[in-house]
């Protein structure tokens, strides 16, 4: 018997299970960083986690300066983290996804992200990166390279081009389309 098509539901479930890795059984960690990608990353993680019957760990890292004790109370940063994680939990709840949020204070974000993924046996870490419109090459900083090198699981870095890059490309595409149209006339 030849099967010409398969059930879409089955394909979606297989995709959501394979996204974190073949045979992976862990949860998904989303690093919330107060950038415009946060909401999309949370939705993506929830979609995958819900289909694979996994949990999403929402993590916000507060980098504590070395001049302060690691357990210092940073009220302003903590309140900001709580607001971002509350928003992320609302998105997860709306998606019908089981999610937990955690604020972690650390000296450096990279090792803290890797430790959280290891502690929660995560199969996937999602990180967002927003381009700087004033730089030719995007600087990954120290966090992303550290996580990519040391993570115990798969890492997806989702980059969003800055508005200036998109506007320039859209203007260039429009100019090319106008030139093609005028050449045909």
Q: Residue 2: what pLDDT? A: 41
Q: Is residue 13 part of a domain?
A: no
In angstroms, rounded to a whole number, what is the distance separating the alpha carbons of residues 29 and 31?
Answer: 6
Q: Which positions ≥6 away from 122 have C-beta within 8 Å?
A: 26, 27, 28, 29, 57, 116, 152, 153
Residue numbers of the domain that contains 178 = 23-184
Q: Residue 68: what pLDDT? A: 94
| 128 class by beta-carbon count within 10 Å (0-12 exposed, 13-18 middle, 19+ buried) | buried
Could you give the angle at the alpha carbon of 55 between the alpha carbons of 49 and 61, nearest 5°? Answer: 110
For 3-45, the DSSP string reads: -----HHHHHHHHHHHTT-TT---EEEEE--SSTTHHHHHHHH
Q: Residue 6: what pLDDT? A: 39
Q: Residue 67: what pLDDT? A: 95
Average pLDDT for residues 157-165, to the nearest whole number?
74
For 102-153, write each residue's pLDDT tens digit: 999 999 999 999 999 999 999 999 999 887 777 666 667 899 999 999 999 9
Q: Residue 184: what pLDDT? A: 55
The answer to whether the beta carbons of residues 171 and 140 sit under 8 Å apart is no
Q: How many domains does the chain have?
A: 1
Asked if the model's pLDDT at residue 163 lies above 70, the reply is no
SS3 69: coil
CATH number of the CATH domain containing 57: 3.40.50.620
Q: Residue 61: what pLDDT? A: 96
In angstroms, rounded to a whole number, what is the distance separating the alpha carbons of residues 67 and 27?
Answer: 35
Q: Residue 10: what pLDDT? A: 45
Q: Is residue 57 part of a domain?
A: yes
In angstroms, rounded to a whole number, what is the distance separating the alpha carbons of residues 12 and 103?
Answer: 32
Q: Is residue 9 part of a domain?
A: no
More reliable by pLDDT, 17 or 78: 78
Q: Is residue 12 part of a domain?
A: no
Q: Is residue 159 part of a domain?
A: yes
Q: Is residue 46 part of a domain?
A: yes
Q: Which positions ≥6 away from 31 have C-beta within 8 Å?
A: 59, 60, 61, 109, 113, 125, 126, 127, 128
Asked if the model's pLDDT at residue 39 lies above 80, the reply is yes
Q: Is residue 172 part of a domain?
A: yes
Q: Is residue 17 part of a domain?
A: no
């Amino acid at each position: 018997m030849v099967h010409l098509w398969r059930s879409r539901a089955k394909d979606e479930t297989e995709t959501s299970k394979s996204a974190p890795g073949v045979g992976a059984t862990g949860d998904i960690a989303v690093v919330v960083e107060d950038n415009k990608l946060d909401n999309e990353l949370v939705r993506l993680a929830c979609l995958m986690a819900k289909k694979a019957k996994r949990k999403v760990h929402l993590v916000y890292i507060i980098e504590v300066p070395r001049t302060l004790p690691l357990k210092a109370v940073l009220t302003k940063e903590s309140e900001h983290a709580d607001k971002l994680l509350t928003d992320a939990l609302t998105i997860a709840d709306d998606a019908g996804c089981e999610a937990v949020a955690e604020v972690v204070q650390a000296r450096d974000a990279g090792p803290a992200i890797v430790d959280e993924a290891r502690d929660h046996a995560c199969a996937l870490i999602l990180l967002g990166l927003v381009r700087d419109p004033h730089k030719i090459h995007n600087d990954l900083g120290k966090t992303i390279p550290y996580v990519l090198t040391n993570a115990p699981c798969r890492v997806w870095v989702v980059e969003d081009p800055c508005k200036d890059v998109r506007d320039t490309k859209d203007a260039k595409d429009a100019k090319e389309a106008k030139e093609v149209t005028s050449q045909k006339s």
